[in-house]
Amino acid sequence: MNNFSKLGLSQSIIEVLDQLGFDTPTPVQEKAIPMLLQNDPTDFIGLAQTGTGKTAAFGLPLIDLIDLDDPTTQAIVMAPTRELGQQTAQQLVSFAKNNRALNIEVVYGGAAIMGQIKALKRPTQIIVATPGRLIDLIKRKAVNLENVKYVVLDEADEMLNMGFKEDIDEILSYTQENRVTWLFSATMPKEIRRIVSKYMDNPLEVAVNTEQKSNVDITHKYVITKAANKIPSLKRFLDIQPDMRGIMFCRTKRETQEIADELGQMGYGVEALHGDLSQAQRDAVMKRFKTRSMQLLIATDVAARGIDVNDLTHVLHHSIPDQLESYTHRSGRTGRAGNKGTSLVFINPRESRKITELERRIKVKFERIEVPTLEEMKSSRINSWANLIINTKVDDQADSILKTVSERFSDLSKEDLLKRLITTQLDHIMTPDEDVNLNETHGGSPANRDKSGFNRYFINVGEIDGMTNADIIHFLSDVSGVDRKFFGDLSLQKNCSYFDVDSTKDKGFGESFEGTEIQGRSIRVNRDEDGRPRKRRSDSFNKGGSYGGGSSYGGGGRSKRPDRDKRPDRDKGRPKRRRRL
């Protein structure tokens, strides 16, 4: 007997679930479905981790509650990304295939809007949408939300993280006041509680496994290496584990593409997935990834939302995400469907405290591992090569070719021949500068940092200023004139930040910020190993340009870079400063 039949769903839905092989509901489905059906209309909050079946939890009752005799739009489902929107719409269509009168359309940015407008001219009862595209369609009068009875906010915490709060407010303003809101989320931050208090009336709530922050089938590991050595370290892991198949997460679109290009030029099976790709390009990348045409997908957090692949062996983190909750979303891409998975984080020597914080927050233990040595890589390469030879089926043409070449090897013993073959394999990994130890210790040392090619700097700007990582890098580049590509790791903290600058490009770097302000506060930038910032004369603070004044850099309008050619000579009349030892 199908256990879904006990939840109050219609017979037509049960028949579809039988055909699709769904017979046992997940915990969130078992609790949410009868609650939504029996208490209609009701506001609702569903808290559950990614991968727990939330789409069916709201999708199945939603399909049963739609009035098939009413051709107007009765429900909208909002998703943070087009990938997740497409995936949700596909599932809803599959659930509704016995209801021919029900039409479901998905709309999202990155695709031709005119095609979507044409599709919406058909009676459409359920629209799955990303917020930005839905607003565009509303303003073009291609969508009318006056008769909407149900609004579903899927992955609500992720939508807020991506800055869709204002879009959600605007969309809900076009719906009737007596509509109900179903909110599904993995976490419940303050911002979501505000949505609940503003738009929901005594909502029913289901929380499933909210304390289980991490999949027990995932092993969590980390390595400590310099920022400049992260890609060489990654190469070694790829070389020593040729069967690895996974996703590497990066902070920015640019970083994602650069890493994919670098590894691709070296012959590794990798591709990038980020927001600058067209929808056709993204679809093509995902098709190749799902058909195992590549070893590693390099992706941003946003682009990877909605990816549904169950057999990934690894999730790799080029850097720890700013929001620690995002780590759970990332690592949850592996260890699915009963398979074991590994989540591996690359950190620099100063980030050990972030691992400790992750352990505390998600209640898992991280294992520190070492970047494979060159000797380990050699052993792995030769063993893989030997296994390949042993398991290779001999081609019928081999006999005739052997007769042609055997005389050339007649003076070589079996041992001599094997040594030469082994050497040809070793040549593939004996590249310049590879025979080095890429591992670092906790905290590192100034001597090691100087040799890494980057110097570490401090700036008294952080999260409290409303800045993001991208904002700070733009700001640093604008003021110093150093191209963004010469900046390395950046650690954004509450009231300050630490960042790396290419040692060949940082001459006079700190001095270029003298006299610069953000919202009336003087900016300090100095080498991290110099100790506490040196005091400056107060009259020097107003000599340069000002970041701020009437607007905030990264917080609602970006001021222009001060005109450095028009700055007064900073050195005139200024006493020489003594270096703090």
Tokens of 483: 């191209």
For 250-301, how does the pLDDT look when each residue is reduced to its tens digit (9 = 90+)? 988 888 999 999 998 888 889 999 878 887 888 888 888 888 888 899 998 7
Residue 167 within any structural domain of the chain:
yes
Picking from 357, 373, 389, the residue at the C-terminal end of a domain is: 373
Say what the pLDDT of residue 495 is: 80
For 38-87, how does the pLDDT look when each residue is reduced to its tens digit (9 = 90+)? 999 999 999 887 667 889 999 999 999 999 999 999 999 999 888 788 88
Tokens of 540: 């020097």
Say what the pLDDT of residue 159 is: 84
Please identify every stretch of the chain with a pLDDT value under 70, giving residue numbers as ranges.
1-2, 50-51, 209-215, 303-308, 322-325, 337, 426-437, 441-452, 529-581
Residue 431 within any structural domain of the chain:
no
Shared domain check, 30 and 146: yes
**Domain carrying residue 470:** 446-566
Residue 348 near residue 444, CB atoms below 8 Å: yes
Beta strand 204-208 with 44-48 is: parallel
Shared domain check, 156 and 286: no
- Domain harbouring 358, CATH code: 3.40.50.300
Among 373, 380, 347, 371, residue whose Cα is nearest residue 243? 380
Shared domain check, 407 and 322: no
**Cβ atoms within 10 Å, residue 314:** 23
Shared domain check, 193 and 316: no
Shared domain check, 149 and 231: no
Shared domain check, 233 and 198: no
Shared domain check, 381 and 359: no
CA neighbours closer than 13 Å in the CB half-sphere of residue 167: 22
Shared domain check, 153 and 20: yes
Residue for token digits 């800045």?
467
- What is the strand order of the sheet 180-185 is part of? 104-107, 126-129, 75-78, 150-153, 180-185, 44-48, 204-208
| pTM listed for this prediction | 0.53
Shared domain check, 391 and 302: no
Tell me how many domains the chain contains: 4
Say what the pLDDT of residue 300 is: 86
* CA pair distance 246, 270, nearest whole angstrom: 10
Picking from 155, 187, 208, the residue at the C-terminal end of a domain is: 208
| Main-chain dihedrals φ then ψ at residue 143, nearest 5 degrees | -135, 135
Shared domain check, 415 and 360: no
* CA pair distance 543, 260, nearest whole angstrom: 43
Residue 581 within any structural domain of the chain:
no
